[in-house]
A and B are shown apart, each in its own frame.
Chain A
Amino acid sequence: MDELGRFRVLDAKPVNLDGFSVANPDLGLVAMRSPFDPSPSLTIRDGEVVELDGKGAAEFDVIDEFIARYGLDLAAADEAMALDDTTLARMAVDVNVPRTEVVRLIGGTTPAKLARVIAVMSPVEMQMAMAKMRARRTPSNQAHVTNQLDDPLLVAADAASAVAYGFREVETTVPVLGDAPSNAVALLIGSQVGTPGAMAQCSIEEALELRLGLRGLTSYAETISIYGTEQVFTDGDDTPFSKAILTSAYASRGLKMRVTSGGGAEVLMGAAEKCSILYLESRCVSLARALGSQGVQNGGIDGVGVVASVPEGMKELLAENLMVMMRDLESCAGNDNLISESDIRRSAHTLPVLLAGADFIFSGFGSIPRYDNAFALSNFNSDDMDDFLVLQRDWGADGGLRTVSQEHLAAVRRRAAKAVQAVYRDLGLADYDDARVDEVVAANGSRDLSAGHPKMVAEAAASIEAKQLTVFDVIASLQRTGYDAEAAAIMRLTRERLRGDQLQTSAIFGEEFRVLSKLTDPNDYAGPGTGYALTEQRRAELDGIRQARSVAELTADQAEHHGHVIVTDVEPARQGSDPREVCIGLSPAWGRTVWLTLCGLTVGEVLRQLSAGLEEEGCVPRLVRVRSTIDVGLIGLTAARLSGSGIGIGLQGKGTSLIHRRDLAPLANLELFSVAPLLNAKMYRELGKNAARHAKGMAPVPILTGGTDESISARYHARAVALVALEREACEPGQPPVTVEVTRS
């Protein structure tokens, strides 16, 4: 069978580059529930768990063991496990049940039980529950800051850009492991330029990452990976016990940390034990709590493509975030892996989280170009920044970010790049010249930089390691080279970190290093009118995108064409008698305050084309100013009634026009050009000709515009509204039409 045109077009759409799997529980390719998921169960004897989700203690694997011993609130267990799934789900959604009560009960649920409870909910109910259950009231956001060259000046400039946009955590990694110390130092410096207090992370192999943290070069960690099956966990060269020590090791040096899980990893590793993605993730979240981690990164991490390939996959990702919140942990809500080639699908993945709110909407918004992301492409990247800022404004939803002017961005990028240049010189790490700084400030990404010396970064990094530089060396160097503000900010960060308030659940540093956490900024959502609300200042930040224009700005170009035609009143408009006469009705603002149509032609040129069309068909135009209405239909009808032929043309300043006849109802015109932005001179001339044909009783010739793919309303309605406002201002209700003369000046 020949391919249908519709399918030819559909096949070429980006969504059809995505992979879609038939659900297959044997491989763990099933989102919300597998027939092999265990039934929830919990048996406690003498204060110890002897059965967990259908498994006796003798059969516990390392994950069961850890959850059973440390993860459950046994005091709440009997009560919670006895409640049916729907009751618990309703409590999570119900604004009249306090968050603390849900947290208390969920503390007594097993992994299988929590998964069942979550699976009862619809996506909208999940969002309702998230609004209530997330730990911190104020939402925030995290950025990826990486580049393919590991160029430290670019890392610093991009970190400074990220904090200017409002990110409160910045995360780097390396294409080349040896470069990591350099990235960490550059990120630390750049992240404190302009807007101090963001926490910085260098995500690499666990032991190496901890070493950088111990030297104070990073302030948080999140790529402490955990998995939902023992096989995958130990394949990852860890156990819950080693992760528990790692968790404590970070805390012992004042480093904030969260673990990373995220559905799909077990499927990718071929060891999902036939369980659903949701259930395995529920095990991870229970384990995270048992480990004493304050938070979890999940909901769209490396396995996101697997999850999104199965039915209800996207819903499962949202459920992952919610489970973290319900276990009273910080939710760093994923969105950090490009879920789809389709812009529609990737927006659909992120939007529910943005609207419901999370501690971090992204656990890595790609603040750099896609190609520079050394993790993986994020679901949103630097070229999506304007889209994200507009989405925040569209929904009045705080995604943690704000608009940055080009001037400010250039200033912070330069300061960050120069600070790193100075410190690298001062510490004898590398010598970058001023031309490199200039390149970095202007660059969109590493592809805009010259290659440079290939070994420069590696040597700088090796030197940082050889000298075992600590955060204090970086502070001293910043001070010596004149970057006092950054030296002071990093010292403050170090001091605050050793106090430890930022180790508590969902902590970020707000303004003036004030800790915002579950404890200092608790989510108090309890229904409409409660919970997080935008301050006036924050609302202004959300609303004030750089593309917003006032009426005055939208009509500024009118002035450039002011006076190109002169309209002179002749006499009060009388009824014409010449059967060849076609009146052209001009709107109130035409040639008075509106001079340029939406398609870019001047009003004079449009009138010239219409008149020429009439004359070419042997008709005679007469111009009539209609003062009492701005409605193009009524303007046309008024013109038609005055016209000797009974045919009239209505014309607005913005270019909308139509042909009318004296005996028709106002809205029943003969031919309408409603989409003014798409018109051109030739079409106006054709419209003039058709009006003349109507006047002569001949059949009109269809005028084909060819249609458009453009979003006319999105592109032009802001401007159209501004022009209509000018028409309304010029309108003189009750005033009769006037015959006018129009001459070119």
Chain B
Amino acid sequence: MSDERFTVENAVDGKLGLSDLRMDPAALAHQAAVAERGGNPQLAENFLRAAELAVIDDEEVMGLYEALRPHRSTAAQLEELRASLEARGAVRCAELVAHAAVVYARRGLLR
């Protein structure tokens, strides 16, 4: 985990940008292990989901959030989203979307 690039000089020289603000998935995996050892598996799971999102760009992350808000997505759209997440290795996020699709259908929260 190299964070030596985070210097004021590099900021002045314009060498740092938006993508540098994403967490390193390895750092999140480490924090997940720490949280798990600390007795909070839910926090660990959150960090592991976050590790998946850390390699996805901002607009897509925003899109994922938007798609899960009530009455935004049809069952087919959620399935499409699930598949695309899974294809990119974001299996935990994909699983969450799959679960949401089932519950939303039962509770009338699909579009």
Contacts and interface: CB of A to CB of B under 8 A. Distances in A.
A472 interface: yes
B35 interface: yes
Interface stretch (A169-177, A246-254, A547-555): A246-254
Given A211-B58, A241-B99, A249-B65, A254 B49 contact: no
Contacts of A234: 70, 109
Interface in A58-90: 60-62, 65, 69-71, 73
B6 A291 contact: no
Interface in A467-525: 468, 470-473, 475-476, 479-480, 484, 487-488, 491, 494-495, 498-501, 503-505, 518-519
A242 B69 contact: yes
A594 interface: no
A488 B8 contact: yes
B74 interface: no
B6 A244 contact: no
A230 B35 CA distance: 29
A270 B44 CA distance: 35
Nearest to B108: A234
A472 B12 CA distance: 8
A209 to B, nearest CB: 11
Contacts of B11: 472-473, 475-476, 479, 487, 491
Interface in A380-435: none
- Most A-side CB within 10 Å, residue of B7, B12, B17, B50: B50
A518 B6 contact: no
Given A249-B50, A500-B31, A494 B6 contact: yes
A248 B21 contact: no
Chain B contact residues: helix, strand, loop or mixed: helix
Given A65-B103, A252-B51, A472-B16, A504 B28 contact: no
B21 A61 contact: no
A503 B35 CA distance: 10
B23 A252 contact: yes
B49 A244 contact: yes
Interface in B41-62: 41-47, 49-54, 56, 58, 61-62
A498 B100 contact: no
Contacts of A480: 12
Nearest to A468: B18
A229 interface: no
B64 to A, nearest CB: 6
B68 A241 contact: yes
B100 to A, nearest CB: 4
Contact of A248 (B18, B38, B40, B49): B49
A615 interface: no
B34 to A, nearest CB: 6
B77 to A, nearest CB: 14
Contacts of A488: 8
A457 B27 CA distance: 37
Given A249-B50, A252-B54, A500 B27 contact: yes
A134 B31 CA distance: 21
B53 A252 contact: yes
Contacts of B49: 244-245, 248, 251, 292
Contacts of A104: 39
Contacts of A239: 68-70, 100, 104, 109
A346 to B, nearest CB: 34
Contacts of B54: 252-253
Nearest to A487: B8
Nearest to B31: A500
Given A488-B8, A498-B6, A245 B93 contact: yes
A161 B34 CA distance: 35
A212 B46 CA distance: 21
B6 to A, nearest CB: 4
Interface string B64-100: 1110111000000000000000000000010011011
Contacts of B34: 504, 519
Interface of A: 60-62, 65, 69-71, 73, 100, 103-104, 206-207, 210-211, 214-216, 230, 234, 237-239, 241-242, 244-254, 289-294, 328, 468, 470-473, 475-476, 479-480, 484, 487-488, 491, 494-495, 498-501, 503-505, 518-519
17 contacts: A61-B107, A70-B42, A70-B45, A210-B65, A239-B109, A241-B96, A246-B65, A251-B49, A252-B51, A253-B23, A292-B46, A328-B39, A470-B16, A491-B6, A491-B8, A494-B21, A505-B43
Given A504-B34, A519-B38, 15 more contacts: A69-B99, A70-B45, A207-B62, A215-B18, A230-B107, A234-B109, A237-B70, A241-B68, A241-B96, A241-B100, A242-B68, A249-B53, A250-B50, A498-B6, A504-B35
Interface of B: 1, 3, 6-8, 11-12, 14, 16-18, 20-24, 27-28, 30-31, 34-35, 38-47, 49-54, 56, 58, 61-62, 64-66, 68-70, 93, 96-97, 99-100, 103-104, 107, 109
